[in-house]
């Protein structure tokens, strides 16, 4: 049977433009609750119930708007679309289902780009993960990329820029990094702090070819110097990339509404102490006007009107509870009360990002399922 489809990237772009459409999720409620497509008109109706009743309007669907139907892998959604079209709905199946959606991203230019010629934020919608492309005088630096390299290649081509370096601000635990593959594809060095090039669980050295990122030094991009500032706590090798007093790419150190968890490497107590010291240094030395550009967001409330994520450092304390805590003991107690319950997949992801595990494409998609849980919940 012929069933019209829409790709995950096309769906992301249409939602980004604010098009009026309905997203019908036909997975079991438990799976949908673990992570779903954010849309003003999102409905979760298990496929079998919908097909058995053949009364979609009772579920809230309307014939006035297009319907994008999503399941796990794009199979049962096709059956649902066939039934809906028989009833007169303009329905399309999301090709590849949530596995495809997990890789979909939207590229957004950031207006406040400081001395850069271009600054692109890549929003991986299913994860709440953010990557960046920094461009100056034809040279580009890619920061915290995901495993799908397509959007980065498209922007490099559009901007006519040459990739001269790839950086992971830390060894990620919630998604599989694309840094090593990007470095190989474009013939650029892959930078990672040496303390994050080893397993925090057993001390094994990673097998990937990385260039040591200095704890206190600089990277060159065109005629610019990008300062590398050590900000451990989420991981031992966590760094922030700073462009003068204007921009700070903070990785998982500081988010708009929280800070990075110190318990994802099984070293919560010592890493909490490091996190406190990193925050104290930032509060003492970072100007209020420095725009914070994190590697994650947890909620739509962290977006700006143009849908980018990032705020001046001086504005964060009013909405970022842990950043506003200035007493060491109170901070440690606040963090301790929110540690624990790390997702089971995060250990495997971190080891894979060190080259100590090699998951298949199918295994990778399963490992990465759901939104990131890298921030301490308020």
pLDDT in tens, 70-117: 999 999 999 999 999 998 999 999 999 998 999 999 999 999 999 999
Predicted pLDDT of residue 107: 96
pLDDT in tens, 180-217: 999 999 999 999 999 999 999 999 999 999 999 865 68
Residue 286, C-beta contacts closer than 8 angstroms, at least 6 positions apart: 245, 248, 313
Predicted pLDDT of residue 53: 66
The average pLDDT across 159-163 equals 98
The answer to whether 105 touches 145, Cβ cutoff 8 Å, is: no
Predicted pLDDT of residue 49: 66
What percent of the chain lies above the pLDDT cut of 70? 97
Predicted pLDDT of residue 341: 79
Q: Is the pLDDT of residue 67 over 90?
A: yes
Q: Do the domains spanning 5-101 and 105-367 agree at the CATH topology level?
A: no
Dist CA 277 CA 232 (whole Å)? 8
pLDDT band at residue 311, thresholds of 50, 70 and 90?
A: very high
Q: Shortest CA distance to 160 belongs to which of 179, 183, 137?
A: 137
Chosen CATH of 105-367 out of 3.60.15.10, 3.40.1110.10, 3.40.50.10880, 3.30.2130.10: 3.60.15.10
3-class secondary-structure state, position 175: coil
198's tokens = 């080893």
Given CATH 3.40.250.10, say whether it is the number of domain 5-101: yes
pLDDT band at residue 52, thresholds of 50, 70 and 90?
A: low
Dist CA 337 CA 334 (whole Å)? 5
Q: Is the pLDDT of residue 346 over 70?
A: yes
Pairing state of beta strands 224-230 and 239-243?
antiparallel
Q: Shortest CA distance to 166 belongs to which of 152, 182, 148?
A: 182
370's tokens = 């759901």
Q: Domain boundaries in the chain?
A: 5-101, 105-367
Q: Shortest CA distance to 8 belongs to which of 29, 45, 44, 39?
A: 39
pLDDT band at residue 50, thresholds of 50, 70 and 90?
A: low
Query: What is the pTM assigned to this prediction?
Result: 0.93
């Amino acid at each position: 049977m012929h069933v019209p489809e829409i790709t995950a990237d096309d769906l992301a772009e249409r939602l980004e433009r604010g098009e009026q459409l309905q997203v019908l999720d036909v997975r079991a409620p438990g799976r949908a609750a673990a992570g779903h497509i954010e849309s003003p008109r999102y409905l979760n109706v298990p496929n079998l119930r919908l097909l058995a009743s053949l009364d979609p309007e009772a579920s809230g669907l309307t014939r006035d708007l297009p319907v994008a139907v999503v399941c796990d892998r794009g199979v049962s959604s096709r059956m649902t679309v066939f039934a809906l079209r028989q009833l007169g709905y303009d329905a399309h199946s999301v090709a590849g289902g949530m596995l495809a959606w997990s890789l979909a991203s939207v590229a957004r230019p950031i207006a406040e780009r400081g001395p850069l010629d271009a600054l692109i934020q890549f929003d991986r919608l299913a994860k709440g993960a953010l990557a960046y492309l920094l461009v100056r005088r034809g040279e580009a630096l890619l920061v915290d990329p995901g495993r799908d390299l397509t959007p980065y290649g498209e922007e490099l081509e559009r901007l006519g820029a040459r990739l001269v370096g790839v950086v992971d601000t830390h060894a990620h635990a919630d998604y599989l990094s694309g840094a090593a593959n990007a470095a190989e594809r474009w013939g650029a060095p892959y930078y990672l702090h040496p303390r994050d090039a080893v397993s925090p669980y057993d001390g094994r050295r990673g097998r990937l070819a990385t260039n040591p990122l200095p704890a206190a030094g600089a990277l060159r991009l065109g005629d610019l110097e990008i300062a590398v500032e050590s900000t451990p706590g989420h991981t031992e090798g966590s760094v922030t990339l700073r462009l003068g007093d204007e921009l700070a790419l903070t990785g998982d150190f500081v988010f708009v509404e929280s800070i990075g968890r110190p318990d994802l490497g099984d070293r919560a107590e010592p890493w909490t102490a490091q996190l406190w010291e990193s925050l104290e240094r930032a509060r003492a030395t970072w100007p209020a006007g420095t725009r914070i550009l994190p590697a994650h967001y947890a909620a739509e409330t962290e977006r700006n009107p143009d849908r980018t994520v990032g705020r001046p450092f001086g504005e964060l304390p009013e909405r970022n509870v842990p950043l506003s805590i200035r007493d060491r003991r109170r901070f440690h107690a606040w963090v301790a009360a929110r540690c624990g319950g790390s997702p089971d997949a995060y250990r495997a992801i971190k080891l894979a990002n060190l080259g100590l595990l090699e998951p298949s494409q199918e295994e990778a998609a399963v490992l990465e399922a759901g939104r990131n849980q890298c921030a301490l919940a308020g």
